């Protein structure tokens, strides 16, 4: 069954030449704004890491990493990264980044288990960023301030894009709305998590949902998160609000909400041990990354990822991420998209 969202009367506003120019404009402008807002320096990132060190992002814990043997390392296996959530924190320590400053990089990944649709591809590209913080910064107020600064950079990018291409009209609201996942559940108790996201985003235009990864008051998770990078412990589990979340917007082209960024204040020693226990993953304590953290060799940090193709898709009012990036798609999806006026690269 096709998972394609079929926008009504969709007409692409930019041809392929304008689209490629727009992608370049957006990527260059946004990353400079992000760097300035959060005081980040660019670093070079790996495409793959050694398996078994605990450095790769486990996402929801079920996705298979693309892996291969390395001849000159005795066939030790490498894994293509899912994201750089934990690698960045090691990099902060290696570069001896001072508090209040951080790093960002271009992250490229292959997610072979992704279900392909308008928003999801086998290929993932995002700006991964991480900054050093103090113990006093591990608060929801600090997290909200970071979110507002990222959202301001997104809105400036929208303004530039619409000035460059007047046929595109801005739609993002001036401010982003904050809500905890448990409060959202109480607002819409009879809706699924995705339906709750659609409802709140349609109401406010741009939303940051706090506390994603732990169980809510109904015993369910809003969405999955690995237990060893974001501090997501929630009210239902230990009375804490959770220190992570997602930036989502209402996207009128597709008539649904879209996640642009997942981010959060990272685990410290106490929250790492607590979340590993909650998820039954205590054995991970012995892995390289986790030992570095438990032995106090890594700084406290905040970080996240912002989808590059997805941001370009939204800024350029495209209906399918395949109009932005080159990837592999089922042939029937390509044909269907072509008939709907959204040819895939």
The catalytic site residues sit at 57, 111, 126, 246, 259, 262
Beta bridge partner(s), residue 127: 106, 306
How far is the C-alpha of 109 from the C-alpha of 122, rounded, in Å?
Answer: 8
Specify whether the CB–CB gap between 333 and 1 falls below 8 A: no
Instruction: Round to the nearest angstrom and report the end-to-end CA distance of the chain.
Output: 22
Rounded to whole angstroms, the Cα distance separating 19 from 27 reads 12
At residue 189, the 3 state secondary structure works out as: coil
Q: What share of the chain is helix, strand, coil (3-state, %, to 5)?
A: 35, 20, 40
What is the DSSP pairing of strand 48-50 with strand 256-265?
A: unpaired
Beta bridge partners of 110: 123
Rounded-to-integer distance, Cα 84 and Cα 110, Å: 12
State the Cα–Cα distance between residues 91 and 76, nearest whole angstrom: 23
DSSP 52-120: TSS-S--TTS-PPPPEEEEGGGTTEEEEE-S--TTHHHHHHHHTTPPTT-EEEEEEEEE-TTPPPSSS-
């Amino acid at each position: 069954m096709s998972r394609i969202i079929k926008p009504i009367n969709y007409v692409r506003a930019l041809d392929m030449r304008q689209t490629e120019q727009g992608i370049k404009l957006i990527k260059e402008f946004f990353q400079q704004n992000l760097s300035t807002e959060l005081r980040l320096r660019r670093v070079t990132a790996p495409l793959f890491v050694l398996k078994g060190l605990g450095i790769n992002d486990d996402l929801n814990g079920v996705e298979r990493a693309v892996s291969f043997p390395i001849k000159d390392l005795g066939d030790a296996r490498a894994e293509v990264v899912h994201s750089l959530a934990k690698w960045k924190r090691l990099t902060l320590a290696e570069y001896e980044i001072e508090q209040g400053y951080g790093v960002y990089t271009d992250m490229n990944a292959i997610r072979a288990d992704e279900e392909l649709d308008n928003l999801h591809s086998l290929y993932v590209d995002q700006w991964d960023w991480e900054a050093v913080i103090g113990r006093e910064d591990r608060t929801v107020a600090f997290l909200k301030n970071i979110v507002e600064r990222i959202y301001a950079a997104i809105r400036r990018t929208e303004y530039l894009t619409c000035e460059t291409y007047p046929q595109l009209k801005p739609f993002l609201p001036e401010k982003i709305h904050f809500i905890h996942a448990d409060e959202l559940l109480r607002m819409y108790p009879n809706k699924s998590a995705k339906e709750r996201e659609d409802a709140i985003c349609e109401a406010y235009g741009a939303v940051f949902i706090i506390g994603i990864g732990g169980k809510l008051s109904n015993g369910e998770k809003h969405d999955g998160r690995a237990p060893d990078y974001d501090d997501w412990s929630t009210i239902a589990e230990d009375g804490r609000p959770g220190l992570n979340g997602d930036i989502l917007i209402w996207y009128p082209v597709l008539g649904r909400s879209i996640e642009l960024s997942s981010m959060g204040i990272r685990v410290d020693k106490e929250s790492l041990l607590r979340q590993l226990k909650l998820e039954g993953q205590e054995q991970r304590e012995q892995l390289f990354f986790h030992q570095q953290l438990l032995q106090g060799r890594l700084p406290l940090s905040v970080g996240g990822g912002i989808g590059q193709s997805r941001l370009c898709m939204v800024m350029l009012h495209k209906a399918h991420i395949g109009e932005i990036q080159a990837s592999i798609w089922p042939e029937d999806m390509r044909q269907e998209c072509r008939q709907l006026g959204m040819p895939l690269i």
